[in-house]
Each structure stands twice: as structure tokens, then as C-alpha cells.
Amino acid sequence: MAGQKIIKSKFFLEDDFLETLAEVPAEEVGAWKPDKKLKIVGAPVSRVDGYDKVSGTAQYTFDVSLPNMAFAKTLRCPHPHARIKSIDISKALKLPGVLAIITHENTPKIPWYYNTSYLFDPHLRYLGDEVACAAAESEEIAAEALKLINVEYEILPFVTDAKKAMEPNAPKLYEEGNIRGGKPSVYKRGDAEKGFKEADAVVEDTFTTRVAVHNPTEVHCSAANWDGDRLTVWDSTQAVFNVRDALARSLNIPANKVRVIKKYMGGGFGSKLAPGKYTVMAAFLARKIGRPVKIALDRKEMNLAVGNRPDSVQKLKAGAKKDGTLTALSHHSYGTVGSHPYGAGCSWPLRTVYQCDNVYVEEYSVYTNAGPARPMRAPGHVQGTFAMDSLIDEIAGKIGMDPLEFRLKNYAEKDQVSNLPYTSKRLKEAYKKGAEAIGWHRRSQPAGSSPGPMKRGIGMATQIWWGGGAPPAYATIRLNRDGSAHVMAGTQDIGTGTYTFIAQVTAEVLEIPIEKITVTLGDTGRCPYCPVSGGSLTAPSVSPAVHHAAQQIKAKLISGAAAILELPEDQLLYQKGVISDKKDPSKKIDITGILRKMQEQELIATGARNANPTGYTINTFGAQFAEVEVDTETGRVKVLKVVAANDIGRVLNWKTAENQFHGGIIQGVSFALMEQRVIDQATGKVLTTNMHDYKMPTVMDMPEIEAYVVSEADNMISSVGAKGLGEPAHIPTAGAIANAVYNAIGVRIKSLPITPDKVLTALQKARRVS
Ligand code: MOS
């Protein structure tokens, strides 16, 4: 408006965008201390995207449909181990409707799997390995085209079992042999041998777990579209920026030419952390034919090619004094990582959950001719906790001590590996709350003593995980003149409620209604950088960045109001977007008024996640308690109830936190009782490639779930003080169930999943012995 005084606050004068990206200390302005009463954050706020989801209007990558879009299908190796001698695509290209076919012969050698292989590698290491990819007018035509590709394979000997793969004469997947790195990974502290000698009781046992497959509801899929030299890719991914960078690298174009979008996603659980081959293939094909290309994997491909949790054979040993003091722990394990490099280690819980000075660990990651392993919800910790906490129950039993008391006796006050203190640890409180809620005193004493064929038991396990979050993570808030706001962050909501907590944090700081906030995520073209949505680090990394951005907006408003009202800032009161004089409340101005007077259309601020404190370990902690009923005539285990009690710092949203507890525990019940990938060792074929053969629970298998959070804000981490929950909720379930089964029947099942045949066999064996 002409003639009006333009007022710029100090923030505007120094409005250097980059400056706002600097790391800020944890003690930042407006930090939410534990005693700070919050209105929206922490409350059970319904998901802001709930309507979109239940009404079917939410667009998942699988739903993406572009004008003139072509569809692609992948030809996969029908042998567990082979080399391509020749490949002929000429016949397939002649099929009407076929648009292009890519193979190792007509695409650049793009490094894949940590440079051990290529996007298309003529050395095929598993049944399902990518051979070629055909784009056509329809998926059906693409599938037909694959049948017309003539591949001559040199069939190689194969191995699918980790133990056999380690034998000297086993077929080799890599020059170096089948043990990744040629040797085990070793960890030691103190002197385990000495520790075992000092023990009054020693137990040793072997535990096994099977390969599990993520099987998220939404299949892995990508759609790619070129506009000149600019590429847009819609991808079902946990990491839009990782995918952007992988595409830029693979296509040899700068990152700014690539935009990756993920709006909604039907689960990933770790299988969508790394960029997919199908994504890069879609981009190549789209460029080749000058049309958008979409690739959606089918359920069989999901079960063969996009990741799994390694299996494990874990030999554990523990020594303890009569008073319960642990004197030594050791862990020898091997597990299959499939066709490409990944770690099968699972000893971390044993290294660090309990106080123990003498620890020895040796773990082998073994290549086999099967689909590559990938991170899966708390990689290693799920298998490792099952074994460790089974053994802890055994040794507690051997010295005649209550398993919970034993755990308290060996409570680790410090991080056992780094010897650093924790920023916060409320595990004792979790033990207490969980034990109370399940009724720990009701346990069958001794184990297996409950009468009749239906035996009940109660067991527990402990959880440790990282999940403190870290920089870099940024969020930008644009506050409009009408008091509505738009928040943008390059994180992604993988189904966990990210949209919602971002709206909540913004609403809390700016005191504006949540309905007036729009959140845009998962778009590298519009949002500032955020890390992968994995490792339970999304909420603890992103929420402080949003908080920081909102604090800056608020400061800009206060500074603007001070100039307009000609009052010192500390005399002003900010309430629901209205700033008034503390002394004379009739002197006030709202957001619209401030922006108008400043001649600003919007206020913009980018917040950054602060650095974590040095000299501390940030971990999440928890315990789960399970009650089961075992039918000793059929061997069937029913999980009746699971209680979880966790230290996750500040809860951002009680409803979505409870969702995490439920999801994690359900997946834990599934891992404990049902899930296993089965491979026929004679043919190398995976026999469980659909949702019928790969067993997962239904609503009929669900236990009653009770969840408690025993922590408050951890302000040593951030202004918000939240820690992660996605993985913590899943880690101890299988261990708690296994211990509950032992408590019910008095016989220990050392092999997951605990299927009826294993229960019956173990019971029969126990009867024969006694
Ligand atoms: Mo998780 S395995 O970090 O998605």
C-alpha cells in the first residue's frame, strides 16, 4: 500500500536462508521441558490424513496413473545360480505393443549392492535375479514379451543353506567365498573365558530363527516420467532423497534434475529403504521410449527379490554367580544374507542390554543363492533378543532366581559398549509398569505346572534400540496472511503418522488450529532435506526441525508486532496468533494485521534439527510381557495378551504411538509363531511366494494389547525430547512369547517360529526323558 511504512523485523534484515540451516544447540528457544503443559502435542489427535485414507482418495504410488503411461515387467532368473551366455530380445521386440527392452547388453554398467554387482549383472546369484525389463502398452503385453526373450544360461551349482555354504567345497557366490569379508565379525570386552570360570552356573544353548520377508501391503512400485532433461519419479519408498541421489548417479545427471515423490505408502519395514532396481529401470525405459513408465512388482517378486530378514543360528553362553551377577556372555552366530552383501549379525542386545564385563561375540554373514537380505524392522535385534532373553531366563532358572529380578540385578546403568552414560533411561520403570500390568506374580511356578491340557504361561523380554534421531533434518514453514500455514519437510510418512505430528508441533508453537495447517512431505522438488524413514529416527529427527521453524515464525511475528505497536518484545504476549500488550490488552494485533503492515504475503522460516550431545549414548528402552495359552494336545500357541512399557522420551501423539505398539507387537507375534520363508534345497525354489503360503496372522490371532510409556521429554536430545518407537515396539515380542511358552509347558522351544509341530515334538521328547 502506497505511503505505508514498511516494517521489517530484525529477522527479515538478516534473512539469510542458509543461516537458518545452521545447527542449533539443544537448549534452543522454547524447548519443551518435561513440565511444560502442551495442548496438542502428546494428545490422541486423529491422523490429519485419516479422511484421505478411509475415503480412498489418498494417492499411493501404486495408484499413480499418467497420460500415455507404459508398463514394465522384469524377467527374472529361473535358476538359483547361473550366468547369461547369450540373450536375444529380437523376437520379443516384434510382439505388437512392446516398446523397449533393457538388458545388461544395452544399458550402462551401473554399480549395485555396494559395488559387488550391477543393475543388470550377467552373473545371476538367485532365483529371481533381474535379467531384463520390458516396457509395453500394458502389463499383460510386457509379461508376454518376457516369454519371448531367449536367454541361454550357463547353469551353476548353488547353495541355499548357510551352514552348507560355509563348507570349503560349497559353490561360491563371490571370489572371496561365501563368508562376507572372509572372516567373522568379532567383538570382545574383558575376558569371557575367565568370566565363565568365575561363574557358579553356566548355561549354553543354540537358538535359531528363520528368514522373514517384509511383505508390506503396498507392493514395491515406481512410475517415471521425463520432461525434457528433467525426471520425475513417484516411488513407494522410505527415503525420497536416497532414491533421488541413486537416480542421479545411475543416469549421470545432477540431483536438481530429479524429483522424487512419495505421498502415501502402504508399509516398508526396511524393504523400501534402499533405492530399488525397478525404479532405475523405469527411468531408463521412460527415457528410451519418451513416455512415462510404471513398474509394480507382484507378490511373488516381493517374496523373492526385495529383501528379507536374515535367518540365524545363535549359540549363546552365559555365566552367573549364585547372587545373580552375570560374569560372562558369549554369542557365536551365523546367518544367511542371500545373494548380496548385508550383515546377519544379531548380537547387539547381548553386548549392551545387561551389565556384564566379559563378553565375546563372533558372527558370520553368509552368502547363499537366495534373495538379498535387507534391513527389516530392528535388524538383528529381533532375532538377537529372542535368543539372549531366552538364555537369560534359563540361567535365572538355573540359579533359582526370578527372571525379572535377575534382569534388575544386572541392570546396565551405562552403555556397556561405549561406557558412556545415557541421556535418559527409564527401563526400571518399564519393568515395574509392565510386571504390574501383566500380573507377573501369576506366573506358573514351577514352569509347566498349570493343570490340564491348556497351559498358560507368562514371559518377558527387554528391548534396547537407538532411535534418538540426528541431524541433518530440515523443515520449512510458510505462514500465510490469513493465519494458515504450509509445512514442508523432505521426510516421508510411511504409515506411521508423520503428517500428523508435524501439524501438531506447528499448531502447538504457533497456537493455530490444526485444520489451518497443510503438510507436504515426500517430495524432493518441494521440501528441504530429511533423512530416511527408518531406524525409528523420523519423529526424533524431524520434530525438532519443525519446532525450530515454528519458533522462528513466532519470533518474526513478535518482532513485527513490537515494531508495529512500538513496544518492547518482552512486554508482548503471544496467544493464538494474536499479540497483545501485557499491560494494556486492548493494544493488540493478529497475524493478518502484522503481515499486512509488514507488506509481507507470507512469513517463511526453515528450521534445523540440532546436534546431539557428545559424550552420551541415546537409546530407547522397553520391556514386553506376554501371556500365552498352549494347547498341549495340538501344540497350538495362542498369545492372549501382550503388555508393552517403553521409554521413548516425549510422546508426540498418543494415538499414533499406540498404533506403533500394535503394529510392532502384531508383527512380533507373527515372527514368533508363523513367519518363515521356505526354500526347497534341491531346486533352490522359494516355496512361500504368496500370502497363503507365507503365513501371517489375521485378526483372529491378535492378542489383547496394553501399552504404556514410562518416559518424559528427553531435552538432552532436542527441544521436543521425542525418541523413536517403530522398531522398539517390535523387538522384544518374540522373546517374551518364547519365555511365556516355556513358563506354560516347562519345555523350551529354541527355534522360531514356534509352530505346533515343534511344540508337540518338544513335549514328546520331554516325556520320553522324564
Ligand atoms: Mo527400518 S529396518 O530402519 O525401516
Whether residues 10 and 146 fall in one domain? no
* pLDDT for res 162: 97
Give the residue among 2, 6, 4, 3 at the shortest CA–CA distance from 563: 6
Q: Active site includes 727?
A: yes
Q: Is residue 440 in a domain?
A: no
* 49 and 109 part of one domain: no
Q: Distances in Å between the alpha carbon of 455 and those of 443, 444, 744, 752? A: 11, 9, 5, 20
Contact 315, 333 (CB under 8 A): yes
Number of Cβ within a 10 Å radius of residue 601: 11
Q: Which of the listed residues 563, 581, 608 is the one where a domain comes to its end?
A: 608
Annotated catalytic residue, options 144, 394, 627, 727:
727
Question: What was the pLDDT predicted at 747?
Answer: 97
User: Which residues constitute the domain of residue 515?
Assistant: 4-59+469-608
Indicate whether 294 and 237 sit together in one domain. Answer: yes
How far apart CA 655 and CA 266 sit, in angstroms, is: 19
Please report the pLDDT score of residue 22 as a whole number: 37
Q: Is 8's pLDDT higher than 80?
A: no
Atom of ligand 1 nearest to the CA of 536: 3
Average pLDDT, rounded, for the chain = 95
Per-residue pLDDT tens over the stretch 236-288: 999 999 999 999 999 999 999 999 999 999 999 999 999 999 999 999 999 99
What is the average pLDDT across 613-639?
Answer: 97
Cβ(324) to ligand 1 under 6 A?
Answer: no
Question: What confidence score (pLDDT) does residue 609 get?
Answer: 96
Same domain, 105 and 221: yes
For position 258, which CATH number holds?
3.90.1170.50
Residues 32, 147 within the same domain? no
Which of 377, 537, 671 for mutating ligand 1's site (highest number of atoms within 8 Å of CB)? Answer: 377
Binding site membership of 379 for ligand 1 (Cβ less than 6 Å) = yes
The amino acid at residue 746 is G
* Mean pLDDT value of segment 675-690: 97
Peptide bond into 44 cis (omega under 30): no
What is the share, in percent, of the chain residues with pLDDT greater than 70? 96
Determine the pLDDT at residue 23.
41
CATH code, 23: 3.30.365.10
Statement to judge: residues 69 and 53 lie in one domain: no
pLDDT digits (tens, 9 = 90+) for 43-74: 999 999 999 999 999 999 999 999 999 999 99
| Ligand 1 contacts CB of residue 667 (under 6 A) | no
- Whole-number Å distance, alpha carbon 667 to ligand 1 midpoint, is 13
Where does the pLDDT of residue 5 fall: very low under 50, low under 70, confident under 90, or very high at 90 and above?
very low
Cell of 10: 530484525
CA 65 to chain centre: 28
Closest by Cα among 82, 221, 73 to 147: 73
Q: Are 278 and 297 in contact (CB under 8 A)?
A: yes
pLDDT for position 451: 87
Residue-wise pLDDT tens digits, 145-162 = 999 999 999 999 999 999
10 Å CB burial of residue 590 (0-12, 13-18, 19+) is middle
120 shares a domain with 17: no
Q: Taking CA 47 as the corner, what is the angle to CA 41 and CA 52, rounded to the nearest 5 degrees? A: 155
**CB of residue 238 inside a 6 A radius of ligand 1:** yes
pLDDT digits (tens, 9 = 90+) for 553-572: 999 999 999 999 999 999 99
- Cα 377 to middle of ligand 1, angstroms: 5
Claim to verify: residue 22 and residue 126 sit in the same structural domain: no
Residues 738, 668: contact at Cβ < 8 Å? no
Place of cell 512415462: 292
Instruction: Report the pLDDT value the prediction gives residue 450, as an integer from 0 to 100.
Output: 86
Asked if residue 761 belongs to a domain, the reply is no
Contacts of 612 (CB under 8 A, 6+ apart): 26, 468, 469, 470, 471, 618, 717
Which of 151, 172, 204 shows the shortest CA–CA distance to 360?
Answer: 204
Q: How confident is the model at residue 769 (pLDDT cuts 50, 70, 90)?
A: confident
3-state SS string for 481-507: CCCCEEEEEECCCCCCCHHHHHHHHHH
pLDDT at 608 > cutoff 60: yes
**267 alpha carbon to ligand 1 midpoint, in Å?**
11
Residue 680: predicted pLDDT? 97
What DSSP character marks residue 578?
E
Dihedral sign from CA coordinates of 635, 639, 640, 643: positive
pLDDT at 770: 66
Task: Kindly give the number of the ligand 1 atom that is closest to the alpha carbon of 378.
Answer: 2
Q: How many CA atoms lie within 13 A of 409 on its CB side?
A: 18
Regarding whether 127 and 228 lie in a shared domain, the answer is: yes
E strands present in 405-538: 454-465, 474-480, 485-489, 517-521
Mean pLDDT, range 75-82, rounded to an integer: 98
Q: Same domain, yes or no, for 569 and 582?
A: yes
Whether residue 6 is predicted with pLDDT greater than 90 in this model: the reply is no
Domain count, the chain: 2
Domain-embedded: residue 547: yes
**In which residue are the cell numbers 544353548 written?**
205
Please work out whether the CB of residue 664 comes within 6 Å of at least one atom of ligand 1: no
Q: What is the pLDDT of residue 768?
A: 83
Percentage of residues in the chain with pLDDT exceeding 90? 95
Residue 704: is its pLDDT beyond 80?
yes
Is residue 478 within 8 Å of 603, Cβ to Cβ? yes
Q: Which of ligand 1's atoms lies nearest the C-alpha of 379?
A: 2
Please state, in angstroms and rounded to a whole number, the distance separating the CA atoms of residues 478 and 550: 9
- Residues 513 and 572 reside in one and the same domain: yes
Domain contains 99: yes
Read off the pTM. Answer: 0.95
Structural domain contains residue 247? yes
Q: Which whole number is the average pLDDT over 488-493? A: 98
Q: Are residues 484 and 603 in the same domain?
A: yes
Q: Among 308, 382, 727, which residue has the most ligand 1 atoms within 8 Å of its CB, making it the best to mutate?
A: 727
**Ligand 1 closest atom vs CA 273:** 4
Model confidence at 16: pLDDT above 90: no
Rounded CA gap, 610 and 24, in Å?
5
Mean of pLDDT values over 286-315: 98
Res 149: pLDDT: 98
* 676: nearest Cα among 734, 625, 729, 631: 734
Q: Which three cell numbers stand for residue 592?
A: 493478518
Q: Whose CA is nearest to atom 4 of ligand 1?
A: 270
Query: Residue 456 and residue 443: Cα distance in Å, rounded?
Result: 8
Domain boundary among 557, 589, 608: 608
Q: Is 535 near ligand 1, meaning CB less than 6 Å away?
A: yes
Residue 24: the pLDDT is 42
Question: Is the CB of 273 within 6 Å of ligand 1?
Answer: yes
Q: Tell me, what's the pLDDT at 28?
A: 60
In a domain, 173, yes or no: no
The whole-number average pLDDT for the span 16-23 is 35
**Domain endpoint, select from 567, 590, 608:** 608
Sign for the CA dihedral angle at 596, 597, 599, 600 comes to negative
In a domain, 501, yes or no: yes
What 3-state class would DSSP assign to 604?
strand
What is the distance in A from the centroid of ligand 1 to the CA of 312? 18
Q: Would you say residue 525 has pLDDT above 90?
A: yes
For residue 181, is it within any domain? no
